[in-house]
Amino acid sequence: MKVAVVGATGLVGSKMLQVLAERNFPVTELVPVASERSVGKEVEFKGNKYKVVSMADGIAAKPAVAIFSAGGSTSLEWAPKFAEAGITVIDNSSAWRMDPTKKLVVPEINADALTPEDKIIANPNCSTIQMVVALNPLHQKYKIKRIIVSTYQSVTGTGKKAVDQLNNERDGKEGEMAYKYQIDLNVIPQIDVFLDNGYTKEEMKMVNETKKIMRDDSIRVTATTVRIPVVGGHSESVNIEFENDFDLAEVKQLLSEAPGVVLQDDPSQQLYPMPLLAHEKDEVFVGRLRRDETQPNTLNMWIVSDNLRKGAATNAVQIAEYLQGKGLL
């Protein structure tokens, strides 16, 4: 199994190499691909060094699968070229997510939709992935009508420059700014650019991607996405209105049995999910489960996951694992 990682030198690309190694994906040959300025650099994988190659050389190497994490414009330009060469692309950017001809996949929910014809497969937004993994089993049982979500998102979602900004501010150093404002000791209620409706692009990603992944356009979603001074791990406060009433004990049972979910919900022991506990883990952690006492059939919950892993690299590798297991690679 020859595997290309496109954007291999970036924050998510590096995490993809780590996850591929940890999960023992059957890589017989690694093809690390990056922009021209990174060509010739070396990356390490399973104790071996590999030289980074250009996009064109990545295609010429004819890998079975190419996992992309190189930004939207790069994906729009290059993913079709890889696909035309018969290479299956799993793309982590926003480029293809809402394209009606492309599947948007979270393996626990909708991998069954994949076919041999799917040569460009979209990996959803990190904040959407963790939310739908937790909500899908409840949707199957009680049918979700409406979701109100507020996120508390790590600086790693922006990239290395943002991590550097936070660390510089903590150390009292001058440096390059990833954000318009200081992030240390602050909270920034803007992720991505503002759209004409007053929502940010990140907020509308959560709205639109949730419906597509869960295959239900009737679900109403409204989101507020917020950047906080945490390195690694997104958190979400989610209020879910169901069509049918639920039993809280049954909700906990469903979540404890759901694939990819870990229930951490014991107020008596002050047990609840936190980014610190989710760091470097692949699961989605759920807690603070309680009935919304202001209206019927409505649940409050708290969801935390490592955004570089399940929110990006792990989900992409899980898609590759599914394809490989089904003989689609």
Residues 6+ apart with CB under 8 A from 196: none
- Ligand-binding site membership of 299 (annotated): no
Q: How does DSSP classify residue 111?
A: G
- Ligand-binding site membership of 253 (annotated): no
- Ligand-binding site membership of 38 (annotated): yes
The two tokens of residue 119 are 């040569």
234 is catalytic: yes
Per the residue annotation, which of 234, 264, 265, 286 is the catalytic one?
A: 234
118 is catalytic: no
What torsion, rounded to 10 degrees, do the Cα atoms 11, 12, 15, 17 define?
-110
The number of C-alpha atoms within 13 Å of 120 and in the hemisphere containing its C-beta is 24
- Ligand-binding site membership of 157 (annotated): no
Helices 248-257 and 126-142, interaxial angle, to 10°?
130
- Ligand-binding site membership of 97 (annotated): yes
- Ligand-binding site membership of 9 (annotated): yes
Estimate to the nearest angstrom the gap between the alpha carbon of 30 and the chain centroid.
23
Query: Could you tell me which of 110, 155, 154 has the C-alpha nearest to residue 129?
Result: 110
- Ligand-binding site membership of 256 (annotated): no
- Ligand-binding site membership of 12 (annotated): yes
User: What is d(CA 100, CA 212) in angstroms, rounded to the nearest whole number?
Assistant: 9
What torsion, rounded to 10 degrees, do the Cα atoms 19, 131, 263, 270 define?
110
- Ligand-binding site membership of 11 (annotated): yes
User: What is d(CA 134, CA 302) in angstroms, rounded to the nearest whole number?
Assistant: 10
SS3 content of the chain, % helix, strand, coil (to 5): 35, 25, 40
Per the residue annotation, which of 126, 214, 284, 319 is the catalytic one?
A: 126
Q: How does DSSP classify residue 312?
A: I
List the binding residues for phosphate. 97
Active site residues: 126, 234
